[in-house]
């Protein structure tokens, strides 16, 4: 899930979600960019993960389970995701 802290602190009712998969894909350049962003094993993740940036959606916060994230994305992962969104838009 990707959400700016501005919306988190404002009590916004929804969260932006970028689904992830452990069925990683690597092309000739070593990743699946621009449709996937490889994040590897972050935080409490037990397997390598690709973010499926072509499947972004928004969900109600009522659907969220747990009280803490599995991991936090680095700035470089966030920048790569933004570049993908700009290329799609």
How far does CA 4 lie from the centroid of its chain? 12
Provide the Cα torsion 49, 8, 14, 48; round to 10°: 0
CA dihedral 74, 22, 25, 73 (to 10 degrees): -10
CB 18 within 8 A of CB 34: no
Fold of 5-88: SH3 type barrels. (2.30.30)
Name the residue ranges covered by the structural domains of the chain. Answer: 5-88
List beta partners, residue 13.
none
Q: Which pLDDT tens digits describe the chain residue by residue (89 residues)? A: 667 778 778 888 888 888 889 999 988 888 788 889 888 888 888 899 999 989 999 988 888 766 666 677 778 877 776 554 444 44
pLDDT of the residue at 52: 92
Query: pTM to 2 decimals?
Result: 0.63
């Amino acid at each position: 899930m990707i959400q700016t802290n501005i919306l988190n602190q404002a009590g916004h009712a929804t969260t932006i979600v970028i689904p992830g998969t452990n069925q990683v894909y690597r092309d000739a350049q070593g990743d699946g960019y621009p449709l996937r962003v490889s994040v590897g094993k972050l935080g409490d993740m037990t397997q390598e993960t690709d973010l499926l940036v072509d499947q972004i959606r928004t969900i109600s916060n009522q659907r969220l389970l747990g009280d803490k994230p599995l991991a936090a994305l680095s700035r470089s992962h966030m920048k790569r995701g933004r570049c993908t969104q700009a290329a799609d838009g």
